[in-house]
Structure 1
């Protein structure tokens, strides 16, 4: 009742009075807001762990306020992206990867986890003669998708061999082996990579700028597994910005896309992940009644014959 009366009184007020009341309330909370680091009653409780609870224990001296000022300056200079731009990029990402989601779009030709058909695994094996169209289309999403797929990695290497720049991808692979290799063989691997790709007169010399080369040579004096990171990143960006776009425009990629396998689609429903699979095996629960039906028929026949004989005897 009290809430209804307050709402009725608020509606009966004039527009100017309501604006004044709202301004007064906003001013009150601006003036009486607790300063940063002070104890806030609204933030107390066993399940409300926040940044203020840790700052209360700190003494408010000059160093404390210097840290606060530095924190605020860093927060103000931090780069931020508008939410509309983030949401737009998120929607584009979902639209791009939705056909490749086995839950939303289904597995074609069938889901091997719930059926007896294993064609999906054989079509998407690491190395196959003819890949699926979805797999080849995914190579055009970004450079990481191409290198992450074993078959795409092989096709990209073949393309670089035709352009006489396969040493770039070989150098990137050697740096990956160095990064994730054995600790005892790091010095040997660093020397092998240097002699093969970076040394003057190397058999598979790669083109690296002078600053990156100087930094790499300084790190080789004390070899470690990350000594080639700068040179590897330089070659990676070179392939990403130069070789990768030409690979997507080449006849080799267009031929792979045209000859790719398109598995037969099953019947689509309102929810694709709930659609009935074409090659689904029958459930054992459905087979039980069909097996028990003849027994039931025999019993009914025997009962019918028994009643008929009984009537005949009577």
Structure 2
């Protein structure tokens, strides 16, 4: 279509204009012609290009080939992961997070972006009385998911309080405030964090190894927002490997799962090709004992 329109426009031009355009194009290619010896894409095909490339490689020096052999030997000794292992890990990751994807499984009770019902936003607000079951289950996917949810972090803080280690999470939150706060407030925030958590005899002292403490003390002379990154990472890994697994096995987390809300599906799904949303209604384990026995009683009366 575009070529036909260009041909029609060229025919409608006057003879003098066509002559000027042709001269301009010939002049352009004369000026921008590749230098002698440089292969041109317009003048050679794939076969000639491969032959010229082989000819150019033969002109390289002995040092070039020695470096290339050393690089290839180093690449052969590099550890690699099989593609099957990577695909299995990716499949597990996708299957684990499929119920939490609102595009693939739908929003419960309905999609607020295409309907007038905003119950989804109300049920998943930063602070609610009772969280949804999918939200509580998402905390078990990774420690990062737990910390990024304000409500999950609040429940985790309560669990750490029962173990007398709530200062670890408080220190992590203070480091996050220091990292993302204003530049003018960095010296004051750094001094407050040091006096509260790291100074000898601090009220909420956290356990930091000696190497990290030395690096931190060396950086206090020139305060910046990344002075406590190593200490924050140390406390983060400590909570992830020690406190987080115990939180998932605790009665507090199990009670949250049992009391979590399972909203029923009220609207039709936007994408009909997707599967039915999981847990659109409470399972038998979440129903009261009287409700679970009602069908059996009704059959007996009938």
In the superposition, the TM-score normalised over structure 1's length comes to 0.65
Q: List gaps (5 residues or longer) in structure 2.
A: 1-44, 278-302
What corresponds to 2:261 in structure 1?
Answer: 261
TM superposition shift of 1:191 = 1.7
Task: Please say if 1:152 is aligned against 2:176.
Answer: no
TM superposition shift of 1:206 = 0.2
TM superposition shift of 1:111 = 0.9
Supply the distance in 2 between the matched residues of 1:273 and 1:138 (Cα, whole angstroms): 20
Supply the distance in 1 between the matched residues of 2:222 and 2:203 (Cα, whole angstroms): 24
Task: Please say if 1:232 is aligned against 2:249.
Answer: no
What corresponds to 2:126 in structure 1?
Answer: 126
Q: Output the aligned Cα RMSD.
A: 2.9
Supply the distance in 1 between the matched residues of 2:202 and 2:66 (Cα, whole angstroms): 54
Cα deviations across residues 157-214 of structure 1 (Å, max 9, x unaligned)?
1111121111101111111111112222222222221111111001110001111111
In the superposition, the TM-score normalised over structure 2's length comes to 0.67
Cα deviations across residues 226-269 of structure 1 (Å, max 9, x unaligned)?
11111111100000001101111111111111000001135789
What corresponds to 1:271 in structure 2?
Answer: 273
Task: Please say if 1:186 is aligned against 2:186.
Answer: yes
What corresponds to 2:139 in structure 1?
Answer: 139
Supply the distance in 1 between the matched residues of 2:255 and 2:48 (Cα, whole angstroms): 63
Contact persistence 2:139–2:146 (CA under 8 A): yes
Pairing 1:20-99 to 2, within 5 Å after superposition: 60=60, 64=64, 68=68, 71-72=71-72, 74-99=74-99
TM superposition shift of 1:133 = 0.3
What corresponds to 1:169 in structure 2?
Answer: 169
Contact persistence 1:107–1:120 (CA under 8 A): yes
TM superposition shift of 1:271 = 2.3
Pairing 1:233-312 to 2, within 5 Å after superposition: 233-265=233-265, 271-272=273-274
Contact persistence 1:178–1:190 (CA under 8 A): yes
TM superposition shift of 1:79 = 3.3
Q: List gaps (5 residues or longer) in structure 1.
A: 1-39, 46-52, 276-314
Supply the distance in 1 between the matched residues of 2:220 and 2:229 (Cα, whole angstroms): 12
Q: Highest CA radius of gyration, 1 or 2?
A: 1
TM superposition shift of 1:126 = 1.0
SS of 2:130 mapped into structure 1: coil
